[in-house]
Copies of this chain bind each other. A is one copy, B any other.
Amino acid sequence: MLSLAYLIAITAEAMTGALAAGRRNMDLFGVSLVAFITALGGGTVRDILLGNFPVNWTQHPQYIYLTIGAGLCTIFIAKIVHKLQQLFLVLDAIGLITFTLIGCNVGLTLGYEPAVVVIAGIITGIFGGILRDVLCNRPPEILHRELYASVALVVALMYLQMRKLGINEDTTLLASFSVGLLLRMSALKWQWQLPIFTYTPERWQDDNNV
């Protein structure tokens, strides 16, 4: 199940990358690159941070073809994307949660501390989107929207706690997946947000980052 969810996840994330590239009027190569990095960037950053070489996608070239293909296909369906928005949001949520669970699993397998495992999960979940936004020169959107990264946090904590309690892996995955999806969908429906921190210093302070 997680494998299938992973394929859906990288496809959906590649498509959000392609759309972001389209907003910046990138060419076909730019679209492919941003799609690839959005889909596989989170796992790449995780593998590098955890010293987990070789990096995952280098052993699975089919992921390269899938994400670049999904990015390029997005160009042709861009006009109908807004009609599919609800579907898209579900796929994106599946992606977020799947990535997070895989990231936690990798961290745990490598024997890292619980706090590092949680961070490995969150980074896998959200960093593709952050790299996408950096490449497209916009502030990372996921850091000030409806609960998104927080969903990754909840999923990671729940997965870790259930594993610690010795609960069967399949049950753990299913439970944390469901809770995560429910939480993200509810956040979208009722626009749940974390509190926003707004800081507008006087001009003279601007000079020294304070």
The answer to whether B25 touches A196 (Cβ under 8 A) is: yes
The answer to whether B51 touches A82 (Cβ under 8 A) is: no
Q: Which residues of B contact A54 (CB under 8 A)?
A: 50-51, 112
Report the minimal beta-carbon distance from A42 to chain B, rounded to whole angstroms: 13
Report the minimal beta-carbon distance from A75 to chain B, rounded to whole angstroms: 5
Q: Which residues of B contact A78 (CB under 8 A)?
A: 197, 199
Alpha-carbon gap, A43 to B60, bound state (A)? 22
User: Which of A58, A81, A119: most chain B Cβ within 10 A?
Assistant: A58
Is A26 interfacial (CB-CB < 8 Å)? yes
Binds B, one of A1-9, A156-164, A170-178, A200-208: A200-208
The answer to whether A27 touches B143 (Cβ under 8 A) is: yes
A141 and B209 in contact, given A113-B61, A130-B135 (Cβ under 8 angstroms): yes
Chain A interfacial residues counted at CB < 8 A: 76
B-contact bits for A49-85, CB 8 A (1 contact / 0 none):
1110111001101001100000000010010011001
Q: Which residues of B contact A92 (CB under 8 A)?
A: 208-210
Report the minimal beta-carbon distance from A25 to chain B, rounded to whole angstroms: 5
Is A31 interfacial (CB-CB < 8 Å)? yes
A26 and B144 in contact, given A33-B149, A138-B137 (Cβ under 8 angstroms): yes
Q: Which residues of B contact A167 (CB under 8 A)?
A: none
A197 and B49 in contact, given A114-B61, A205-B85, A209-B20 (Cβ under 8 angstroms): no
